[in-house]
């Protein structure tokens, strides 16, 4: 499924993209570097006219197991840390409190 959305500014495009939280996001604007830090919800970002999504799947080595259904709002692609259980603990003494 695809969609074309016309916007009046890059800021509006960034806002919509962050709401959609796509699995794959391709951007091709004059100042790629200026927009990257504002894009925060995507599975994998493809930047510039030569960075087609297919390269992420088969050439450039990025993760192919990416979050879908807006899940990139709270998680990234599957990696080894996804399967590691972490446990934390605290021990306080009277002086610390």
Residues labelled catalytic: 23-24
Q: Which residues pair with 44 in a beta bridge?
A: 24
Nearest to 3 by CA among 18, 30, 28, 22: 22
Q: In this structure, how many other beta carbons lie within 10 angstroms of the beta carbon of residue 27?
A: 19
């Amino acid at each position: 499924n695809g969609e074309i959305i016309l916007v009046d500014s890059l800021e509006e495009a960034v806002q919509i993209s962050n709401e959609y939280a796509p699995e794959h996001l391709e951007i091709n604007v004059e100042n790629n570097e200026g927009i990257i830090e504002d894009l925060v919800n995507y599975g994998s970002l493809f930047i510039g006219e030569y960075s087609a999504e297919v390269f992420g799947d088969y050439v450039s080595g990025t993760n192919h197991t990416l979050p879908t259904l807006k899940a990139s709002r709270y998680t990234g692609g599957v990696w080894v840390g996804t399967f590691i259980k972490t446990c934390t603990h605290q021990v306080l003494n009277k002086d610390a409190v």
